[in-house]
């Protein structure tokens, strides 16, 4: 008798098996099938070590559909903010589709890193800052420059160590405590005008006035790092970014030829 029951159960089993087309939930006009649910849930599982329970994930899907349909009911696709967000999403999708595979193939060799570093070394400096506030007027900037010129004249004549002059004159309260030292910096960690000035100097040189968004600097170079001791991760990232920019520039240079483009750059000078 038990054998007969077991056989009957095996025969009947397929009738109760789940199908990928089975409807797991119906949310308004949207049907969520078991297959769709499993694909999305497995995707979440592959991206996190702590996926939500299946019942909570299903609730998230239902809420998503409810929210989406409510947004459509309110015609939010016509909202200017939503339209701009959609435009940004489309732009990002285009780049990922067209350039993503190419960017992923970027390789940075040790030689490329060493060649890049020759023109972009890590430099250590100390500085005296004569600041002016963001949004300063022309008169305020002129006054800061006048004071900076006077200080620079004193620095060039003084026999005192630069660190002492920093404590006398600098407006940078943070670096002032360290004699003006701002540590090791590279082209990608400091404002261009400051870096370019420091890169053109020798260790021990003092130079001014260097203007930045913070004010006027009087710079002393205190060190220049060799490639062997430099931050390789930062160098690799910088070279990678340059190669990525070449890919983007080439792509848009070609794409722009298909469009009529007129510019009036005089308006932004």
Q: Which helix (H) or strand (E) holds 188?
A: none
CATH number of the domain to which 187 belongs: 3.10.50.40
Please tell me whether residues 75 and 167 are part of one structural domain: no
Domain boundary among 79, 101, 125: 79
- Give the global pTM: 0.73
One domain, residues 165 and 225: yes
218 and 119 share one domain:
yes
Task: Give the pLDDT of the chain (269 residues) as one tens digit per residue.
Answer: 433 333 333 333 344 455 667 999 999 989 999 999 999 999 999 998 899 999 999 999 999 999 999 999 999 999 999 999 999 999 999 999 999 999 999 999 999 999 999 999 999 999 999 999 999 999 999 999 999 999 999 999 999 999 999 999 999 989 998 999 999 999 989 999 999 999 999 999 999 899 999 999 999 999 999 999 999 999 999 999 999 999 999 999 999 999 999 999 899 87
- Please provide the DSSP assignment of 41-106 as one string: HHHHHHH-SSPPPHHHHHHHHHHHHHHHHHHHHTTGGGSHHHHHHHHHHHHHHHHHHHTHHHHHT-
Domain co-membership, 120 together with 191 = yes
Q: What is the pLDDT of residue 11?
A: 32
- If asked whether residues 73 and 127 sit together in one domain, one would say no
- How many domains would you assign to the chain? 2
Q: Do residue 158 and residue 62 come from a single domain?
A: no
Is beta strand 181-185 parallel, antiparallel or unpaired with respect to 206-212?
unpaired
Q: Are residues 47 and 143 in the same domain?
A: no
| Extended beta strands in 122-204, E state | 123-131, 181-185
161, 222: one domain: yes
Do both 132 and 203 map to the same domain?
A: yes
Does the residue 5 lie in any domain? no
| Domain end point (choices 33, 55, 79) | 79
pLDDT at 5: 36
Q: Which two tokens stand for residue 47?
A: 């991206």
Residue 12 counted as domain residue: no
238 within some domain:
no
Structural domain harbouring 200: 114-229
| Assigned domain for 176 exists | yes
235 belongs to a structural domain = no
Asked if residue 215 and residue 119 are part of one domain, the reply reads yes
Question: Considering the domain boundaries, does residue 158 fall inside one?
Answer: yes
Residue 222 and residue 134 in one domain: yes
**Residue 104 resides in a domain:** no
Go through 125-155 and write b for each residue having 16 or more CB atoms within 10 A of its CB, e for each that does not: bbbbbbbbeeeeeeeeeeebbebbeebbeeb
Q: Does the CA dihedral 156-154-170-192 come out positive or negative?
A: negative
pLDDT at 21: 75
Residue 213 lies in a domain: yes
Distance CA 213, CA 131 (A): 9
Residues 118 and 181 in one domain: yes
What's residue 18's pLDDT? 55
């Amino acid at each position: 008798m038990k054998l007969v029951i077991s056989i009957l159960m095996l025969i009947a089993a397929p009738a109760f098996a789940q199908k990928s087309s089975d409807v797991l939930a119906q949310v308004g006009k949207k049907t969520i099938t078991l297959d769709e649910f499993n694909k999305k849930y497995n995707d979440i599982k592959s991206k996190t070590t702590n996926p939500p329970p299946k019942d909570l994930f299903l609730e998230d899907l239902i809420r998503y559909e409810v929210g989406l349909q409510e947004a459509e009911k309110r015609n939010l696709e016509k909202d200017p903010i939503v339209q701009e967000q959609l435009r940004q999403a489309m732009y990002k999708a285009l780049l990922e589709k067209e350039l993503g595979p190419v960017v992923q193939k970027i390789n940075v060799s040790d030689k490329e890193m060493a060649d890049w570093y020759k023109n972009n070394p890590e430099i250590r400096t100390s500085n005296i800052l004569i600041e002016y506030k963001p949004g300063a007027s022309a008169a305020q900037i002129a006054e800061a420059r006048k004071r900076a010129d006077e200080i620079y004249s004193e620095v060039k004549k003084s026999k005192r160590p630069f660190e002492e002059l920093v404590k006398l004159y600098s407006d940078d309260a943070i670096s002032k405590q360290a004699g003006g030292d701002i540590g090791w910096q590279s082209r990608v960690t400091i404002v261009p005008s400051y870096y370019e000035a420091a890169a053109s100097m020798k260790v021990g040189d003092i130079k001014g006035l260097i203007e930045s968004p913070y004010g006027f600097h009087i710079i002393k170079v205190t060190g220049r790092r060799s490639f062997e001791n430099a931050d390789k991760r930062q160098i690799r990232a910088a070279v990678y970014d340059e190669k990525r920019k070449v890919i983007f520039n080439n792509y848009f240079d070609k794409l722009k030829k298909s469009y009529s483009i007129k510019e009036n750059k005089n308006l932004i000078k």
